[in-house]
Structure formats: structure tokens, C-alpha cells
Amino acid sequence: MMKSLKTFKIGGVHPEENKRSANTPIQILPFPKQAIIPLGQNLGAPSKPLVKRGDEVKTGQLIAGGESFIAANLHSPFTGKVSKIDNFLDSSGYRRPAIVIDVEEVDIWEDGIDTSDTIKREITADRKTIIDTIKSCGIVGLGGATFPTHVKLMVPDGKKAEYLIINGVECEPYLTSDHRLMLEKGEELLIGIQILMKALDVEKAIVGIENNKRDAINHLTELAAGFERIHIQPLKVKYPQGGEKQLIKATVNREVPSGKLPIEVGCVVSNVGTAFAVYEAVQKNKPLIERIVTVTGKAVKKPSNFKVRVGTPVQQLIDAAEGLPENTGKIINGGPMMGKAIMSTEVPVVKGTSGILLMKQEESRRKTALNCIRCSKCTSVCPMGLEPYLLLKLMKLERYEDGMKERIMDCIECGSCQFTCPSNLPLLDYLKLGKQRGGQIIRSRK
Amino acid sequence: MNEVILYTLLTLGLLGTVAAVILYFVAQKFKVIENPKIDLVDDVLPKANCGGCGFPGCRAFAEALVKSANENHSLDGLNCPVGGNDVMKSAAAILGLEVEEQEPLIAVVRCSGSKTNSPAKINYDGPSTCAFAHNLYAGEGGCPHSCLGLGDCVVSCDFDAIHISLETGLPEVNEKCVACGACVKACPRSIIELRPKGKKDRRIFVSCINQEKGGVAKKNCEVACIGCSKCFKVCPFDAITMDNNLAYIDPIKCKLCRKCVEVCPTNAIHEINFPPRKIKPEATEETTKTMAVSHQEPNENKA
Amino acid sequence: MNQFTISGSPHVHGEESVSKIMYTVVLALLPAVLVSAYFFGLDAIRVLLIAVISCMFFEWVIQKYIIKGPITITDGSAVVAGMLLAFNVPSNLPWWILVIGALATIGIAKMSFGGLGRNPFNPALVGRVFMLISFPVQMTSWPIAKPLFAEGLTDAITGPTALGLLKEGIGAGKTIDQIISDPAMPNYLDQLTGNMGGSLGEMSAIALILGGLFMIWRKVINWQVPFSIIFTVFVFAGIFHLIDPTMYIEPAFHLFTGGLMLGAIFMATDMVTSPMTISGKWVFGVGIGLITIIIRFWGAYPEGVSFAILIMNAFVPLINNSFKPKRFGVKAVSK
């Protein structure tokens, strides 16, 4: 029986999928000589270093701690010596504090971490232990937002989680790290989902997967038969289905109210990578020190998926994919719709890096912006029901408060509007500026 | 025929009278009682409505002046940068007060990261607004405190006083500047500062706001302040302070002796409107570079 | 390295472009061009060419010498304006009137507001109305359709359009039955295929509908505006026909005569001058339908579509303000 393909209702676009590395199994990337571990790898306050220059560290050792409410721990991804703690280049060219470690070739793991590959099915930890372990292992949302997972799991009083929704959508073109993870670590993933279900005390978990990953859907559906209350839901291919509000609408048909969090409609959303990291943390006591990163692009000789330790410079990943293509014009951290263009390849991989996309010179420059022709295509593709053409005009006139009245703060920055605009207007650029100013206005009112 | 004219005159005359009477009573009923001095003060203001005084328009400033005169018997803290001392004196005279002469200010761009001094490491492709580019990345030259050259300051200026130079890619301020402060607010990196014009329109300032360590700053820009403190040590008037690898010259203490300009190893300190120095025999390329940047008035005698 | 570029996301772009949209409209107009060439011969081609070339010329002159900005005549918008202008005029219109109309279309209605995307009124309609009011005689002498290779008629003969006959007839006190039985009045088949008097674009409803479906398929226009106009006209005219069949003709007549099809499919759907949201488009279409019928029934002109569209164009900013899209996460239909 063919499952009906659900999707979200308002808006959405269909960029070219270009999933060039979908059939490439995950390879382990060799260690770098030096690792740069930025202290601000999550949403919220940056962590404070707990080691100093000259300290010897083991793999998995706690090296920075999160002190405020929304903060996360950082662990050393390598064995080695702390070379310095200083400001280092981030992907935007600004300098942020980071810990630099001179890497030893062989791992000496911190005590208590299970490094074996055997799959541990039984979940012995209770709810509180699960959340504490997730916190101490520094697990953050690996979908890109890097929100500390333990904070997400602490449901506020008066609200109840009814559904755990797992994001296996990977709607960004080119990226395939989640896809490979679902294919190669399916069972561990499902155990991780069960752990999250226990932590949230939910009845049902739904794993949303877009229909362009049929092998993953079939594989997980088969495995999920052995797990209780986990439902695999294939979804129609449409960008930005991976946005949590759109995913919730598509899977359980509930709309998160404007300005509120998903828990408001009884849902908690988590990425498949996060669920896998939760498995490793709770079952193996292994902190978050590595993740899968896709290296891809039309000119890349060997599009690949690598298992990378945090702190590895991006240049190393490019070298492992057989080098920077000749006519590369732009290097993007992430996917082509929401990723950030980076200034240099010396920057390291961080917890939120899902892919490195190398664009050819011809594709890197924008076309000339013309007048808005009022075609309203931007309005029809906006998944949040906004009017980007109007917000653009308001932002150019610096009418930030009027923009807030037109709900600019609801914008999820998916880029569908700018993608579609026939006049090549810089819609998302101004929307981001407007949101930043709007945030300042909101903070100044308090 | 005469009847027609008579009746027309009567009718129109009656209508006019009735209208006048109604208007008179309405004017009396809805009269706004205002201090007549506000009108007098408003008349002497320049009417640029630029907001440089901190009030929304010249009328509001006139009201503030009268209010301050009535409540505090002084005009302290109120200044019209466009009109300057002349306007403030006239306004004070109307209100029967004295006002201190203020030193005229001018906007100063504290960055020299031009295309030659800070060569581009990457190409920017996006909307021509500094506000957006500042959020996106550090700058084409790599310095996170550098001028982005996209002209938010130019757009904000009501007086046609600041323009981006095609040669250097940096903003240049001309004599039309009235120091209203619009460009200072528009710059997302606070590169522009209002400084006193100085005696004979001469001023000295550190053309850099980079607070990174010297080696890091110099990698991105040839003329960055590297925080070496040579200027600090040589200043005879204690006008220079060092803060976080950056030198700052206090314009009030500075006596324009130019010793700091000579010792700066990266030519980060600029002198404006000074006569050319006698070029010493061992003049280096660097000294002549400094000369080329500042405006020259060759007929002026050496200070 | 200097070769890299940095910019904000998204870093890819879809297939849409202004030229693509405009040239799709040109393609959609081709069936109607062929029909008008069939019925009006070389005159139709002459009118089309003069209109298109004049529009492109004026846009080039204004952009190069007056505005001194970038030249955008190749984006197709001048071509579309020219073709639609040509479709609104009789095929025997003197060339100099057409050139003046093109100047009004491009110079007044489009360029003086700031070029493509900035005009509040449909440029081709402004040009048409300008010519209609300035040269009423030449703009209302309609050649009768003379199918190619037809025998007998060598010179073009002019006569009233179907709507003109209707208006005259009502004015003279005739009943509907009497008007319909007038041999000069085209029957339904004639109306659908275009075998009647009128402007180039009023001819074949079938050709226009084909073009419309093509544009809807290519997502260049939406179906809501044409449908709401046609539906409103049909219902409104139908109500009155039911009330008094001797005074008000069958609603289908109103659909296939006059510029209704042309207006509904090509003019009202002009992106620049129509509302931005679906609910707004419905209101827009209903308004046009109502005003068209009101003018046709009780107004001085036999044809009302052009004026109706221009009047509703004026309301578009108000419609945009009042009809917002469905917001995600907001319960009631509000801003």
C-alpha cells in the first residue's frame, strides 16, 4: 500500500537536488596536525575554557564549560597538548576565542567512554540521567541551529510533549550527511530516538524523510518494525520541509503559533544527527566530538561524506575530496539555500557544519538586480505567509517597526523568496538586516 | 444690469462677512497659546531640520531652547551644529542669556584601509549597504574594523559633505560638513568621529580603530595602528592614550606639534591641512606617503 | 585568495527571469496574432509592427537620453506593451495616431513612473484610452472582418461592432430579439472564431483562451483574475437577463464580444498593476466584472473593459493593504 505523501501547505520551492554524494559511504577523515576548537559552537553564550596553555588533554576530555542557561559543554576531539587559547578567524573573517590543540596521532580516550562498535540496545538510564548525560556530553542540535539539546528536553511547566519529530528531511540541495547516517547507522539512530522518547515521556515518534531518499525510508521502515511507537513518514520533496515549523505542519498538521516554540503544540523536533549523538552519549558515554560532513559541488572530483572530528580545518576536507577545483568561485559552509559563504579554508569544522559546498566561478556571482515587477512570486513561495516584496521596501526605507508589524520576525530565513525572484532582488539580505534591527528594538524595549 | 451688480456685491459681501466672523470665533476657540519667543528663536535657526541638535527639527529645538531658558536660565547642553556660534549667539540674545562659544566640529573618518593599503582578499557580491555587509563578514581586506566602502554614510548626509573616493574606496569629508552626526550614527562600525576642526582648520588623529594585536592588524592592512606606543611615549602634552593595542589622540590636549606623526612606523596618524615639512635628506618613501594623504596649503607659514 | 566571492544566502537561483515571463506572454499572444492576420490581412501585421517598434523606440530614447540609465528594451516588456496596444485598435488606424499612442503608453504610463514595475496603471490601456479620447472617430471605425481568400470584398468595409449594435439598438428602443435578428449581428460561432467587426484583439475568443491556458501552465499568470472577471460578468449579466430578457441580452454574448476576453486574460493579469495576494486578486476580478457590465448597460460607451481595468488598477494599493496572505501560525484571517 502506497503511503500518501504529506507536505506543508503554504509556499515552498523546488531547487535542483544535486545529491551527488548520496551513494558515497561515510569515510573517516585522517586527523589534522593542529585543531582549532572555537568556544562559541552553539546558540547562546560561548563556553568558558577549563584548560590552559600547555595542558595535556585526552580525547573526549571536557575542555570548556557552559555556565549560563542556554550553553553547552565542549570536549576535546583529539589527544594532544593545548597550544594556545586565543582569537582565531571564523568563517566571516571576524576573530573569536578558540582553543588550539597540537594533535597526537593516536587517540587516548578519557576514562569511562565506550569506544567499541557494538550496538547497545537496552536503555538502562532513567529520564533524569538521560538529560544530565546529554547536557554533560555537550549535545547540541546538529541540524544547523546548534541549540543545546538538554534545554530543549526540559519541557516547561504546564506544557506536555505529545510527539517527538525526527528531522531526516535534509531538504537542502547537495547535502547528504543525514542520508548516509540513516542508511549506515539506522539501528543506533532508532535507539537514540527511543532514548529521546523516554526523556520526553512521549507516546509517539515520527521520523520525516523526503521521498528522494527511498533507500533510507525503506531501510528505516524495516528496522523500525522492531521498535515500538516509531513511525517512518515519507514526505513530498519540497524546500524548506526541514524547517521545524514546516516539518511539524507536514507530519502532524499543527501550526506553531507565531513567536512561539514547537512545544506550544506539543511537539519537539530533533535532527537525525542529534539523535545519533544522543545514542552515543547515553549508551556509550561518548561526548559530541565528531559529525558527518558532506564535501560536494559540481566540479568536485570526489563528492564525499566524511566522519570528521570537530576542529579539523576545512582545507583538510577539501584535500580529501581530491582538492579544490580550478575554477572554484565560492566556498559555502552548509547548503546552497541557507549556508554561509566563508572567507578562508583555514576555518575549522564546528558542531553545526553539515557540509562544505564548492561552487564554480560561473555560479558564484549574482545576476543584476532589476526593479520589482510585482509578480508576487515571492509571496506565493514564502512558507511563513509573509510578503517579502513589501518587507524589502520597508527595510530599504529603514522602517523597521513597520516591518515588525508585517511580521518580519516570523521569517525563517529559508531563502525561497530570493531564489524565486525574477528580478534577482536581494530579498533575504534585507530581511536578515530587518530581523537583526527588529531584535535590537525588542531588546531595547525590555 | 446695475441690479445684477448690486445684488452680486451684496451677496458676496454678506457671504464674506459671515465667513470672516465664523473664522474669527473658530480661531479664538482653537487658539494655541504659545510663547511668542519660540517663533522669534525659530526664525534665527538655519531650518535644515537635520536632527544634529538631537531634536526632531528646528521648531522642536526652538521650543527646547525657550524651555531651557525658562527653567534653567541657561542654554547649557544645547547646540546647533549647523548654525554654529553665530546662531547660538542670536538665539541667546533673544532669550536674554549668554552662551559659551563652542569649538566647531567636523566629521573625521578614522580608517585608511584603501585598496592599496588593505588589498582585497575576497570579492563582495550583495546589496550596497554597510549595515548588511557588516553583519555578513569582516571586510574585503580582512580587517573587521575596516571601512566597508558601501556608502551608508554618504546616503545619510543631508549636506553633501561626504563622498566615497573612487581612488581609495574610502569616504572623504569636505568643508560642507556641519558635524550634525548623521554619518556617525549611520556607520555600523563607528569609524567616523566628530572632532574639533582645530586652530587654522588643522587636526591630527589616529586613522585606525583596530584593537587587534599589532601582528594581526598589520597582516590585513599596511597602515594599521599596531599599538607600539611610540606616539604615546613621544607626546609632550600627554594627549595620547593606549587602549587595547590602539592609540587615541585627545583633541583638546593635542597642541598639533606633529611629533607623533613622525614616529609612527605604519603612518597610521594623519595630519590635516599642515604645510609641507622641509624634506630631510634621508626622507623615506613612507614620509612622502603621509604628505600625499593630507591636504596641503603651500602658502601657509610653518606653525 | 582574490578569486573567491562572499555573499549572503541563498547562493543558487531558480529559473525565473523577467525576460522569460515577457516572452512567454508574447508566445501566448501568437494564436491571436494569427487570427487577426487571417481576418484583417496585412493591416493587422502593419499595426502590430508599428506599435511594437514605436514602443521599443520610445523606451530606448527615454532610457538613453532622458533618464540616462540602463537600457532594458530587450527584456520584452516593451514588446508586450506594443502588442497589447496593437490589439486594442482598429486595423485601419492611421500610423501616426498609433505612434502617439505608443508614446503615451511608454512615456506617460510607464517611464514617467520609473520604468518597469513602478507604473500604477496598465500601460497599453492608458495608451488606448488616450487615443480613444483624443481621436474618437478613427478609434471607433471598425473594419469588418474579411477572412483571407474570401471572395467579393476588395476594400475594407467598416461597421459597428457587436456591442456597438447592441448599444445603438437599446438606445433606439428595440428589444433584444429585434437586435439579434439584425443580419449585421454576428452569431455565436462568429463571435467565438472572430468573424466580426472590432479591434485586432477582440476577434477570436478561442485563440485568446488558448493563449491564456498556455500562460497559466507556465505559471506566468494566475487563473483567479480571468476566472473571476468572466464569472462576475456572466452572473451579473445573467441576473439582469433573467429579470428582463427583452432589455438585457444573454450573458454569453457579453463574454465573447468586446475586449472582455482580451482584457480578462492579458490586460487585467498584468503583474505590475494587479494585486499581490490571491484574495486580493478575486476582489480585483469581481470589481472589473461589475464595472464592465455597469458601463456596458448604463454608461455612454458600448465597451467598458478598458475603463473598468483602469479604475480597478487605481484601487490595487488599497487592496494590497487590506488583503494579506494567510500567515503561518496565526489563527484568524488578519494582518
For residue B72, what pLDDT band results from cuts at 50, 70 and 90?
confident
Average pLDDT over residues C290-310: 89
> Which chains lie within 8 Å of chain A at 3 or more CB pairs, if any?
B, C
Q: Which residues contact B96 (CB under 8 A, 6 or more apart)?
A: B69
The pLDDT of residue B303 is 39
* Helix C42-61 with C95-103: angle, nearest 10 deg: 40
DSSP assignments along C193-224, one per residue: HT-SSS-GGGS-HHHHHHHHHHHHHTTSS-SH
For residue B125, what pLDDT band results from cuts at 50, 70 and 90?
very high
The pLDDT of residue C163 is 78
The pLDDT of residue B281 is 60
The pLDDT of residue B299 is 42
Cis peptide before A240 (omega within 30 of 0): yes
**Are the Cβ atoms of A338 and C20 closer than 8 angstroms?**
no
Name beta bridge partners: B57. Answer: none
Burial of B189 (0-12, 13-18, 19+ CB in 10 A): middle
Average pLDDT over residues C181-192: 71
The mean of the pLDDT values for chain A is 92
**Are the Cβ atoms of C3 and A387 closer than 8 angstroms?**
no
pLDDT tens track for C221-244: 999 999 999 999 999 999 988 888
pLDDT tens track for A328-384: 999 999 999 999 999 889 999 999 999 999 999 999 999 999 999 999 999 999 999
Q: Torsion angle of alpha carbons C127, C130, C131, C134, nearest 10°?
A: -170
Average pLDDT over residues A110-121: 89
**Are the Cβ atoms of C9 and A339 closer than 8 angstroms?**
yes
> Which chains lie within 8 Å of chain B at 3 or more CB pairs, if any?
A, C
Q: Out of A95, A364, A366, name the one closest to residue B144 (CB).
A: A95
- Find the closest chain B residue to A436 by CA distance: B135
Min Cα distance C61 → chain B (Å) is 28
CB A309 within 8 A of CB A31: yes
The mean of the pLDDT values for chain C is 87
Lowest mean pLDDT among A217-221, A236-240, A264-268, C248-252: C248-252
Q: Out of B119, B122, B132, name the one closest to residue C5 (CB).
A: B122
Long-range contacts from B167-174, C-beta under 8 angstroms, 24+ separation: B167/B114, B168/B112, B168/B114, B168/B115, B168/B116, B169/B114, B169/B115, B170/B109, B170/B111, B170/B112, B170/B113, B170/B114, B171/B109, B171/B147, B172/B109, B173/B106, B173/B107, B173/B108, B173/B109
All three cell numbers of A230, joined, read: 516509531
Min Cα distance B223 → chain A (Å) is 19
CB A307 within 8 A of CB A318: no
The pLDDT of residue A314 is 95
Percentage, residues of chain B above pLDDT 70: 92
The pLDDT of residue B100 is 83
The pLDDT of residue B282 is 55
- Find the closest chain C residue to B125 by CA distance: C7
The pLDDT of residue B78 is 85
**Are the Cβ atoms of B132 and A430 closer than 8 angstroms?**
yes
Q: Compute the distance between CA of residue B25 and CA of residue B21 in angstroms, rounded to an integer.
A: 6
For residue C322, report the phi and psi dihedrals to the nearest 5 degrees: -90, -25
For residue C153, what pLDDT band results from cuts at 50, 70 and 90?
very low
| pLDDT reading at C152 higher than 70 | no
All three cell numbers of A33, joined, read: 596536525
CB B241 within 8 A of CB B247: yes
| pLDDT reading at C272 higher than 50 | yes
DSSP assignments along C26-61, one per residue: HHHHHHHHHHHHHHHTHHHHHHHHHHHHHHHHHHHH
The candidate with the shortest Cα–Cα distance to A337, out of A140, A186, A171, is: A171
Window 169-188 of A, Cβ < 8 Å to C: 173
Average pLDDT over residues A162-180: 95
For residue C118, list chain A residues with Cβ-Cβ distance below 8 A.
371
Average pLDDT over residues B107-130: 92
| pLDDT reading at C95 higher than 90 | yes
pLDDT tens track for B76-99: 888 888 888 889 888 888 888 888
Average pLDDT over residues C192-209: 74
All three cell numbers of A86, joined, read: 586565543
The pLDDT of residue C150 is 54
Q: Compute the distance between CA of residue B159 and CA of residue B166 in angstroms, rounded to an integer.
A: 20
Query: 3-class DSSP state for residue A332?
Result: strand
DSSP assignments along C136-173, one per residue: HHHHT-EEPP--TT-SS--S--EE--HHHHHHHHHHTT
| pLDDT reading at C1 higher than 70 | no
Q: Compute the distance between CA of residue A276 and CA of residue A182 in angstroms, rounded to an integer.
A: 9
CB C312 within 8 A of CB C304: no
For residue B136, list chain C residues with Cβ-Cβ distance below 8 A.
6-8
pLDDT tens track for C124-150: 999 999 999 999 888 888 777 666 655
Q: Which of A371, A432, A436 to mutate against chain C (most C CBs within 10 Å)? A: A371
The pLDDT of residue A326 is 87
| pTM of the full structure | 0.89
For residue B302, what pLDDT band results from cuts at 50, 70 and 90?
very low
**Are the Cβ atoms of C13 and A385 closer than 8 angstroms?**
no
Lowest mean pLDDT among A346-355, B48-57, B241-250: B48-57
Percentage, residues of chain C above pLDDT 90: 57
Give me the interface pTM, i.e. the ipTM.
Answer: 0.89
Rounded CA Rg of chain C: 21
Q: Which of A328, A370, A393, A410 to mutate against chain C (most C CBs within 10 Å)? A: A370
| pLDDT reading at B297 higher than 50 | no
Q: Which of B118, B121, B122 to mutate against chain A (most A CBs within 10 Å)? A: B122
For residue A343, list chain B residues with Cβ-Cβ distance below 8 A.
121-122, 137-138, 142
Q: Compute the distance between CA of residue A128 and CA of residue A115 in angstroms, rounded to an integer.
A: 24
A387 at the C interface (CB within 8 A)?
A: yes
Q: Which residues contact A185 (CB under 8 A, 6 or more apart)?
A: A276
Q: Cell match 614620509: residue? A: B287
The pLDDT of residue C170 is 77
| pLDDT reading at B132 higher than 70 | yes
All three cell numbers of C175, joined, read: 428589444
Burial of A52 (0-12, 13-18, 19+ CB in 10 A): exposed
For residue B115, list chain C residues with Cβ-Cβ distance below 8 A.
none
Q: Compute the distance between CA of residue A391 and CA of residue B268 in angstroms, rounded to an integer.
A: 42
For residue A46, what pLDDT band results from cuts at 50, 70 and 90?
confident
pLDDT tens track for C80-93: 999 999 998 888 89
Enumerate chain C positions whose Cβ falls within 8 A of a Cβ in A: 3-14, 16-18, 20-21, 72, 75, 114-118, 271-277, 320, 324-331, 335
All three cell numbers of C59, joined, read: 523606451
Q: Which of C1, C2, C13, C21 to mutate against chain A (most A CBs within 10 Å)? A: C13
pLDDT tens track for A125-137: 899 999 999 999 9
| pLDDT reading at C193 higher than 80 | no
A62, HSE (Cβ side, Cα atoms, 13 Å): 15
Which run of H or E residues covers position C262? Answer: helix C260-262
